[in-house]
Structure 1
Amino acid sequence: MSSFAEVFGGEPDGVWYAPGRVNLIGEHTDYNDGFVLPFALAQRTTVTARRSAGPQWTVHSTLTKETVQIDEAAAATPGALAGWSAYVAGVVWAMHEAGHRVAGAELFIDSDVPLGAGLSSSHALECAVLGALTDLSDVDIPVTARPRLVQRSENGYVGAPTGILDQSASILCQAGHALFLDCRDLSNEQVPFDLAAAGLALLVIDTRAPHQHTDGEYAKRRSACEAAARVLGVPALRDVSGEHLDAALAALPDDESRRRVRHVVTENQRVLDTVSLLRAGQLRAIGPLLSASHTSMRDDYEITVPPVDTAVAAALSAGAYGARMTGGGFGGCVLALTDAGAVDEVQQAVRNAFASNGFTEPATFLAVPSQGAGRLA
């Protein structure tokens, strides 16, 4: 594998990183001003970087072995670039839009966050680039303001209508905790989530069924929620409480709208219930909430696919306390909460189920709640 010195010559000014994330529970609630509960992974994207002269950004990716030049015109024009380099250009664009002067730079990018698995590899890239360019440009962007800036990059430059969950997790999470985040005002709480101390493990099953947010399905779900909120006369679906859910559903014009709203409202409540259990140290008890979340995503939000459903069913049949898809949907990863000593059994059950269904063999790893973005050197 190449190094910064081999690509650019000389020594870098520093190394910055941002992790991928797993969303423990709270799917498609973020853009509805709701509640989410993600945590950062040990897997991360690193950006080794050096300031350079002139308003351009030269970026090398070890994953694609490409080197891309981003000039000032491309960085100023949303949609001018496609692929992974668009995420880098989008950060420059968003910083400019926020009134910051952005120094030219040479950026060497490496990552062990699985791509296309719903673990937020794109946001890990953006958050790490933002950290590097903020320091190299000697600008002051408070940590609490960075998630919104990355969201603007993704929405305004890349063209993906993502919410605020992924960026917040990558930047704000603390090791050994899950981040209870209110997506309306970004108030947050670090909730203890020490799996090892409880004798538990959270197995991540990468189904190898890649997802894509920009294919229109994510946008359709978001538009449906916004339309339903208008019909119900509320700012966002977060404002529909569980006790008023039946009345809200009766006011909606079609079954699809009712299913979408039911998922968001009940998912918000599942997040609140999960946080209460974690605060009380009852980690095993969150299992049924995870499984109920998956059922809601499958039946009401209709964002799961056969490999994902198969992984959930197999994990539960092997004794997992709960299992659910995590991420935007239409592929990606499944979480299975299990006793630490039962991980191998659950993994084998999932592999057997995939083999019998003719699916590609899944990849698995244990999720460890880890530290959010920072500087390594």
Structure 2
Amino acid sequence: MSSTPHDLAAAFADRFGTEPDGLWSAPGRVNVIGEHTDYNEGFVLPFAIQHSTTVAAAVRGDRWVRVASTFAPDDDPVTADLDDLAEGGVEGWAAYPLGVLWAFEQSGYRCPGMDLLVDSSVPVGAGLSSSAALECSVAVAANELAQAGASHEELAAIGQLAENRMVGAPTGIMDQSASLLGEAGYAVFLDCRSGESQLVPLDLEAAGLELLVIDTRVSHSHSTGGYAARRRSCELGAKLMGVPALRDVSVQDLAEAAGVLDEETFRRVRHVVTENARVQDAVRLLTREGPAALGPLLVASHASMRDDFEISCAELDTAVDAALDAGALGARMTGGGFGGAAIALVAVDDVPAVRAAVEDAFSAARFRAPVIFSVLPGAGAARIA
């Protein structure tokens, strides 16, 4: 968080003229493996990280909402009447928090008016789900302030509804689930069809490992065309295969798929089908052997996203290749693609060499210098003050 809880509360009082009723925080996430599988009703394996978004909030006596951010302290708050909020009716970053309140009411809950001040340490556009961190921090705040009593699984669905219909980004439910369900030392194995989740041990420190995030600083957006085009390809593939979703296609079915689908759609389908298998393999390996065994799966995942799903970019490929050449056990891009971040699984003693190799490779390619940092599985969304 950029501000301490005390500083954020003080900033809220300065902005709105009253003390907040509380502060609620929700983390970003890193996805260990399982990319573009969530909206295909498949499997994912993310974990919550220590970078988070925090919202200070106070109930109002009317149905108005005012939303402001510490990153634009001189801007007037965005205001909206909850009774007038409509799907797609809010533009810019405020669509995320206002969309959550709209989605609450669409889900049968009634929210009071409230003032919200948002602060965050989750890099925007880096593939670490800053959007879900914002949605989930507002969701846990609104859940308490409205006395709604919604479960974290319901809050994840509310966050997804906000992102799909208010923001217009056709994302799955993985990011919100990771932000809400994460626990320190564990990844979240999520079945995106049933909504069932399982905590899987991911004790990187005990294994002598670090997971490096390599933020390429190439910004991406889920609401732009590439993400939506991939989703349409997946839906077409499922339709032509005669199944409800690509979750229902197995690796053994790919030979049949090759005879049914055009070449591009087949490659999109092949990525999702093999990625689902990699997620399940990763869970088995973590349970039986520990995180050091994940390396080859990460490498295979990146190759699939680069070649079959075509969502990588030169900066992401450079990050992955340089990390592997310098001794990383595994590396891959993470997130929706078209920019954002890569992850590298690295033995602690090899971290300096991997970091230097990636920085040197970016410099040689005349890319912007990457931002590299370690992450550990952390706790999910909660009230913090």
Equivalences for 1:207-246 in 2 at 5 Å?
A: 207-246=216-255
1:281 Cα deviation (Å)? 3.2
Name the SS of the counterpart of 1:160 in structure 2. Answer: coil
- Aligned match for 1:149, one of 149, 154, 158: 158
Tell me the distance in 2 between the aligned counterparts of 1:300 and 1:10. 53
1:263 Cα deviation (Å)? 0.3
Tell me the distance in 2 between the aligned counterparts of 1:70 and 1:242. 50
Name the SS of the counterpart of 1:83 in structure 2. Answer: coil
1:74 Cα deviation (Å)? 8.0
Q: 4+ residue runs of structure 1 moved beyond 3 angstroms?
A: none
Total equivalences in the alignment? 376
Name the SS of the counterpart of 1:214 in structure 2. Answer: coil
Equivalences for 1:100-249 in 2 at 5 Å?
A: 100-249=109-258
TM-score where L is the length of structure 1? 0.98
1:294 corresponds to 2:302: yes
1:80 corresponds to 2:80: no
Paired position in structure 2 for 1:270: 278
Paired position in structure 2 for 1:35: 43
1:242 Cα deviation (Å)? 1.2
One-letter amino acid matched to 2:242 = G
Name the SS of the counterpart of 2:53 in structure 1. Answer: strand
Q: Is the 8 A contact 1:75 1:89 kept in 2?
A: no
- Aligned match for 1:52, one of 60, 70, 74: 60
1:282 Cα deviation (Å)? 2.8
Name the SS of the counterpart of 1:194 in structure 2. Answer: coil
Tell me the distance in 2 between the aligned counterparts of 1:230 and 1:68. 45
Name the SS of the counterpart of 2:299 in structure 1. Answer: helix
1:83 Cα deviation (Å)? 1.2
Q: Give the stretch that moved more between structures: 73-82 or 20-29.
A: 73-82
1:69-123: CA deviation from partner (whole Å, max 9, x where unpaired) = 3322685212222111011110111011111111111111100000110100011
Q: Is the 8 A contact 2:202 2:290 kept in 1?
A: no
1:316 Cα deviation (Å)? 0.3
Name the SS of the counterpart of 2:124 in structure 1. Answer: coil
Paired position in structure 1 for 2:369: 361
One-letter amino acid matched to 2:51 = Q
% of aligned pairs identical?
A: 53
Paired position in structure 2 for 1:304: 312
Q: Is the 8 A contact 1:53 1:104 kept in 2?
A: yes
Name the SS of the counterpart of 1:130 in structure 2. Answer: helix
1:15 Cα deviation (Å)? 0.7
TM-score where L is the length of structure 2? 0.96
Tell me the distance in 2 between the aligned counterparts of 1:219 and 1:161. 6
Tell me the distance in 2 between the aligned counterparts of 1:77 and 1:164. 22
1:67 Cα deviation (Å)? 3.6
Q: Is the 8 A contact 1:86 1:157 kept in 2?
A: yes
Name the SS of the counterpart of 1:207 in structure 2. Answer: strand
Q: Is the 8 A contact 1:56 1:69 kept in 2?
A: no
Structure 1: gaps spanning 5 or more residues: none
Name the SS of the counterpart of 1:167 in structure 2. Answer: helix
Q: Is the 8 A contact 1:74 1:89 kept in 2?
A: no
- Aligned match for 1:260, one of 232, 255, 268: 268
Name the SS of the counterpart of 1:169 in structure 2. Answer: helix
Name the SS of the counterpart of 2:223 in structure 1. Answer: helix
Tell me the distance in 1 between the aligned counterparts of 2:91 and 2:206. 44
Q: Is the 8 A contact 2:271 2:305 kept in 1?
A: yes
Q: Give the stretch that moved more between structures: 359-368 or 137-146.
A: 137-146
Name the SS of the counterpart of 1:370 in structure 2. Answer: coil
Structure 2: gaps spanning 5 or more residues: none
